[in-house]
């Protein structure tokens, strides 16, 4: 009996192994098709195969399966023929939006590439069906389900291509972000948020990414829907554990059910759910497993910086100082937590002064071998800000790759555990990060560094904080870091659409509504009162009790706030509708950041800005920048030409000629009319987000959306190195920010990695592609930490 069961078990395992090998082989064939064919050849080949398969199954009698197969191939033919001209028009102008010829990357290119990935998979599957449809081993139901899933994805991608054409026709020359009028933008939003998304989260999950990533994404999706199911059952979240993530087998075996549940969760559940899910990696068991696979370091300790003001010398005159106040926004003065990571124990890192600030976190306070020998202080220091959408994660989540950085760079790293939204919205995180940065500069000797070279590094939300901390340092007049390495940063938190952000419809790690909820939380729109202290005590999981009214409110706000700039009201209307919000929110915004008696005419100090002033209206007047007070940070004058999203004249003419190809009807009518007659994209069954949209003018603050900063602010930034992802919904943030810096003559580089999702640094140990992308980030940091003289000495001779 045991032998029979063992044989059966071995047979099942062998079948699973065979299926995995065949899956990888199929994905490899689809990738080769993508690389070897241009768009027109791929479309023509797919149409020919679809017609052949359609004719075959139409001749197989009146059976339901044959009818569905014939219908799906007819649909593939129709959508491929309709999609090819739209993609061709986008590809024809995509080069106008690149940073330079050596960096061919922007949202239009990414959308075309994603559609080609879907076409390549359908072409491979159509060839397989044509070759095996007569075989007795042909799995009819499986192939039918996969074809139907990819047909649904192709239909939605066709809709996105038409939306991208609308952006191209409406935007300012050279602009990647939507700037339409009120009627058109409302129509755009109303159409976009109702699109069906579940087809991208089932069988088609992650089809656009490298095959090595897809099994991980499938695991994450199963964990997410299982977590959501347990989260619903446990109102407070206390019953949700890591072991409960993968216990719902029905989601693992039914991709369509998983996709529908994934869509329901992303559209309906609030920001506290995402905070809880993303913080799963902070559970001790999972974090310990992650650290076992990372580099072993001598020092990894959590330090609590006391909320005490201190003085910093001005770079313009070191004899003068400026006061750095502790963070004040929302919750008043409080300590700031930082994690010190160092591969070697260096001088100062075990000093009594630093030991007195160490915060206990169990047995992992200090990873030291018995009485290790100290090494001298490093000349470099890396200050890191973690990602997590401003609402989740800590330095602990990012510790595995930070340990590798510490080993490879030979420099100590501090990672800031800033306070998270919605409990601590803007500008609390910025204040804490700036305070910690200044403290590190002043006390670098305690951290094992001489501070000769300092680099700011961060990913996603952390990349945003890198830019804003550097801008604030320049505004205060204190030392600016030697450079910034930002991985897939968010530079535009205003809810504006762009070609790359259209990809959030299908992105499993940055879905449309989740992105919207994180931005709303950071802007203060999701801030909640939590009178029950027991709920606050839930700690890292950050779970709160939610009632029906909160869920309905979330449905009302939902994904639409991601695109809330589509409803740019008139000045009079904005004043009327935002006045109560301004008054209620002003009391909670840090006086240190946003309140100061009004100075001379033309001065835009951050301490005199109210929420009304943060709108950066294009009608703002110019004036001379006054002398900066030693205790305030100033925001320089802003003029319409300061925020310049325009192309060079010759590129503008080329784009204008391309736009002439769009009909007058397309240029003036609503988005729904842009679809060809008879084309109807699939709509969500989860219900559309209600109107009107919630909007907060604070997202236009340049310390929240650095892309909107005026020229004179951006000119104060140090050299910037950006590493972005070609398939990331935030790609256009990186491209437009790099273009602005390049236009100002600022040193900037942009490297775009292919076929990887947003957040690849946290997946650095997953596969070869993520390791190479992480190594690219380390290389950029090393460039910053290398003194100019040494870099020149090691540079190759000119040809």
Instruction: Return the active site residues.
Output: 460, 728, 758
Residue 402 — φ and ψ, nearest 5°?
-70, -35
Three-state DSSP state, 752: strand
Residue 422 — φ and ψ, nearest 5°?
-80, -10
Residue 302 — φ and ψ, nearest 5°?
-95, 130
Residue 380, both tokens: 């470099």
Beta strands in 684-741 (DSSP E): 720-725
Write the CB contacts of 101 (distance below 8 Å, at least 6 apart in sequence): 95
What's 340's DSSP letter?
A: E
Is the CB of residue 413 less than 8 Å from the CB of residue 402?
Answer: yes
Residue 654, both tokens: 């080329």
CA angle 222, 226, 229 (to 5 degrees): 145
Q: Give the integer Cα–Cα distance in Å for 258 and 202.
A: 6
Q: Which helix (H) or strand (E) holds 576?
A: helix 571-586
Write the CB contacts of 218 (distance below 8 Å, at least 6 apart in sequence): 205, 206
Report how far apart the first and last C-alpha atoms of the chain are (Å, whole number).
75
Give me the helix-helix angle, 649-659 and 64-93, nearest 10°: 140
Return the closest-CA partner of residue 433 out of 280, 441, 632: 441
Is the CB of residue 202 less than 8 Å from the CB of residue 258?
Answer: yes
DSSP letter string over 366-388? ----SSPPPBPPEEEEEEEE--S
Three-state DSSP state, 303: strand
Q: Give the integer Cα–Cα distance in Å for 399 and 415.
A: 9
> Strands across the sheet with 449-459, in order?
299-305, 336-342, 413-417, 378-385, 449-459, 483-487, 720-725, 748-753
What's 359's DSSP letter?
A: P
Q: Long-range contacts for 32-35 (Cβ within 8 Å, ≥24 apart)?
A: 33/120, 33/123, 33/124, 34/116, 34/117, 34/120
Give me the helix-helix angle, 140-170 and 182-192, nearest 10°: 170
Residue 182: asked if its preceding bond is cis (omega within 30°), the reply is no
Q: Which residue has the tokens 């994209």?
A: 681
Q: Which helix (H) or strand (E) holds 158?
A: helix 140-170
Exposure on the CB side of residue 762, measured as CA atoms within 13 A: 24
Return the closest-CA partner of residue 450 out of 512, 345, 380: 380
Exposure on the CB side of residue 493, measured as CA atoms within 13 A: 32
């Amino acid at each position: 009996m045991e032998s029979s069961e063992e044989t059966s078990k071995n047979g099942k395992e062998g079948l699973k192994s065979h299926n995995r090998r065949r899956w990888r082989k199929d994905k490899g064939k689809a990738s080769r098709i993508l690389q070897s064919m241009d768009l027109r050849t791929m479309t023509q080949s797919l149409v020919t195969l679809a017609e052949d398969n359609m004719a075959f199954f139409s001749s197989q009698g009146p059976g339901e399966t044959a009818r569905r197969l014939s219908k799906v191939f007819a649909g593939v033919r129709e959508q491929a023929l309709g999609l090819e001209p739209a993609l061709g028009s986008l590809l024809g102008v995509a080069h106008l939006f690149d940073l330079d010829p050596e960096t061919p990357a922007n949202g239009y290119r990414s959308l075309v590439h994603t559609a080609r990935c879907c076409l390549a998979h359908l072409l491979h599957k159509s060839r397989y069906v044509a070759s095996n449809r007569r075989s007795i081993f042909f799995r009819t139901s499986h192939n039918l389900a996969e074809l139907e899933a990819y047909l649904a994805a192709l239909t939605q991608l066709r809709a996105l291509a038409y939306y991208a054409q609308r952006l191209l026709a409406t935007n300012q020359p050279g602009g990647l972000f939507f700037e339409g009028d009120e009627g058109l933008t409302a129509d755009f939003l109303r159409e976009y948020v109702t699109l069906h998304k579940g087809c991208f989260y089932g069988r088609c999950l992650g089809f656009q990414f490298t095959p090595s990533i897809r099994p991980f994404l499938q695991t994450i999706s199963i964990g997410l829907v299982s977590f959501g199911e347990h989260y619903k059952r446990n109102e407070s979240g206390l019953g949700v554990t890591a072991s409960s993530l993968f216990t719902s087998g029905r989601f693992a075996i039914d991709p369509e059910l998983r996709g529908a549940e994934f869509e329901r969760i992303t559209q309906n559940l609030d920001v506290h759910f995402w905070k809880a899910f993303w913080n799963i990696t902070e559970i001790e068991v999972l974090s310990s497993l992650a650290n076992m696979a990372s580099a072993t370091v001598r020092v990894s300790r959590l330090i609590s910086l006391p909320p005490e003001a201190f003085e910093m010398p001005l770079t313009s005159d070191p004899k003068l100082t400026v006061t750095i106040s502790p963070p004040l926004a929302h919750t008043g003065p409080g300590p700031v937590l930082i994690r010190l990571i160092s591969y070697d124990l260096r001088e100062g890192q075990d000093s009594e002064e630093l030991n007195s600030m160490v915060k206990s976190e169990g047995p992992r306070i200090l990873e030291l071998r018995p009485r290790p020998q100290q090494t001298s202080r490093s000349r470099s220091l890396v200050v890191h800000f973690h990602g997590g959408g401003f609402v989740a994660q800590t330095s602990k989540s990012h510790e595995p790759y930070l340990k590798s950085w510490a080993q490879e760079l030979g420099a100590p790293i501090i990672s800031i555990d800033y306070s998270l939204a919605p409990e601590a919205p803007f500008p609390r995180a910025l204040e804490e990060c700036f305070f910690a940065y200044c403290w590190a500069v002043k006390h670098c000797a305690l951290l094992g560094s001489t501070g000769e070279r300092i680099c700011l590094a961060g990913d996603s939300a952390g990349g945003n904080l890198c830019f804003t901390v550097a801008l604030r340092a320049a505004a205060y007049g204190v030392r600016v870091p030697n450079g910034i390495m930002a991985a897939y940063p968010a530079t535009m938190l205003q809810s504006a659409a762009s070609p790359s952000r259209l990809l959030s419809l299908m992105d499993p790690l940055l879905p449309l509504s989740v992105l919207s909820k994180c931005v709303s939380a950071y802007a203060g729109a999701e801030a909640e009162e939590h009178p029950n202290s027991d709920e606050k005590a839930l700690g890292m999981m950050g779970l709160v009790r939610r009632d029906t009214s909160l869920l309905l409110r979330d449905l009302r706000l939902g994904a639409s706030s991601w695109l809330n700039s589509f409803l740019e009201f008139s000045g009079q209307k904005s004043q009327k509708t935002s006045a109560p919000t301004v008054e209620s929110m002003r009391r909670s915004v840090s006086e240190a950041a946003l309140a100061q008696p009004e100075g001379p005419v033309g001065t835009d100090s951050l301490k005199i800005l109210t929420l009304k002033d943060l709108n950066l209206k294009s009608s703002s007047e110019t004036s001379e920048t006054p002398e900066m007070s030693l205790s305030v940070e100033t925001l320089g004058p802003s003029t319409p030409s300061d925020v310049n999203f325009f192309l060079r004249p010759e590129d503008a003419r080329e784009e204008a000629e391309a736009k002439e190809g769009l009909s007058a009807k397309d240029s003036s009518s609503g988005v729904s009319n842009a679809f060809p007659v008879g084309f109807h994209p699939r709509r969500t069954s989860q219900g559309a987000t209600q109107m009107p949209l919630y909007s907060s003018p604070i997202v236009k603050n340049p310390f929240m959306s650095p892309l909107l900063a005026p020229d004179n602010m951006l000119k104060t930034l140090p050299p910037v190195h950006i590493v972005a992802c070609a398939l990331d919904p935030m790609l256009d943030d990186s491209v437009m920010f790099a273009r602005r810096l390049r236009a100002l003559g600022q040193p900037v580089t942009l490297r775009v990695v292919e076929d990887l999702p947003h957040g690849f640094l946290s997946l650095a140990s997953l596969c070869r592609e993520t390791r190479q992308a992480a190594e690219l980030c380390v290389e950029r940091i090393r460039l910053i930490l290398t003194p100019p003289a040494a870099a020149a000495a090691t540079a190759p001779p000119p040809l």
